[in-house]
Amino acid sequence: MRDRLILLPGWGLGVSPLQPLAAALQGLDEHLHVEIEPLPELESSDLDEWLDELDSTLPQDAWLGGWSLGGMLASALAERRGDRCCGLLTLASNASFVAHEHWSSAMPADTFDAFLAGCEADPRLTLKRFSLLCAQGAEDPRGLSRLLLGGAPHTTASVLISGLQVLAQLDTRQALQSYRGPQLHLFAGLDGLVPAEAAGELLALLPDVEIGLIEQASHGFLLEDPHGVAGAIQAFLHESGDD
């Protein structure tokens, strides 16, 4: 269905951060059905199990999108579905969240390992730290952090940890190159989790897809300016739908 968009949230903070964006999109186009689907609550860190769960529960023949981890999972699922996915959009989603020799614009591996260890030791404190990182670079970082944390669900520690383990192993470069549908990838210039340089690195990998950089924005830019982000997404959907 070309009038159906499924959005997947990021790690740990639930569906709340996507709700203002979904409302803004609905306001721009009454014919567009936007659905926010929670991430799987699996204690397994097997990526195929996560994708199987999403593939079995999400509607077919829809646009797929997501924020951060959600965008990475949407990318992997788009490759799996091929023609059964109308198109793909990601928000502050890196091709690889953790840096490696083939993808340098990402979080250093030792920083991520320390973050994972922190989550194993104190999940609630780690989630608070994560919300602060999401808000880093925002006009009102403390306010945005409180907003993000306030809507976070009470997820078990084991599910939070497995989500981080999935995040660490995801590398969507091949998926993004293989998927032939329309793609839009939006990055933030002041992102504390996904370096702005990732936008340029992705453009070098995918010269024929739409990649945007919102200069003065944080990882949580979809909450900072939901109407602006919705406008960019709507333009992409309409332009791609006319092809």
**pLDDT per residue over 142-179, tens digit each?**
999 999 999 999 999 999 999 999 999 999 999 999 99
CATH code of residue 8: 3.40.50.1820
SS3 100: strand
**pLDDT per residue over 201-227, tens digit each?**
999 999 999 999 999 999 999 999 999
Helix axes 19-28, 226-241, angle to 10 degrees: 50
* Length of the chain measured in residues: 243
Edge-to-edge strand list for the sheet holding 62-67:
33-36, 4-8, 62-67, 85-91, 183-188, 210-214
In the predicted model, what is the mean pLDDT of residues 71-96?
Answer: 97
Which residue is catalytic, options 145, 219, 225, 240? 219
Question: How far apart, in whole angstroms, are the C-alpha atoms of residue 191 and residue 110?
Answer: 19
Question: How far apart, in whole angstroms, are the C-alpha atoms of residue 133 and residue 141?
Answer: 9
Looking at residue 221, its pLDDT comes to 97
Active site residue 33: no
| CA-only gyration radius of the chain, Å | 16
Q: What is the DSSP letter of 201?
A: H
Active site residue 68: yes
Which residue is catalytic, options 162, 191, 218, 240? 191
Looking at residue 241, its pLDDT comes to 72
Q: Over 80: is that where the pLDDT of 2 sits?
A: no
In the predicted model, what is the mean pLDDT of residues 30-59?
Answer: 96
Pairing between β-strand 85-91 and β-strand 183-188 as defined by DSSP bridges: parallel
Active site residue 238: no
Among the listed residues 70, 86, 88, the one whose alpha carbon sits nearest the alpha carbon of residue 16: 70
In the predicted model, what is the mean pLDDT of residues 108-124?
Answer: 96
In the predicted model, what is the mean pLDDT of residues 31-44?
Answer: 96
Domain range enclosing 26: 4-241
Total number of domains in the chain:
1
Q: Over 80: is that where the pLDDT of 32 sits?
A: yes
The token pair that represents 72 in the structure block: 């990475």
Pairing between β-strand 183-188 and β-strand 210-214 as defined by DSSP bridges: parallel
**pLDDT per residue over 120-150, tens digit each?**
999 999 999 999 999 999 999 999 999 999 9
Looking at residue 242, its pLDDT comes to 55
Side-chain half-sphere exposure of 31, counting CA atoms within 13 A: 6
Looking at residue 79, its pLDDT comes to 98
Confidence of residue 240 (pLDDT cuts 50, 70, 90): confident
Looking at residue 243, its pLDDT comes to 47
The token pair that represents 214 in the structure block: 């919102």
Percent of the chain having pLDDT more than 70?
99
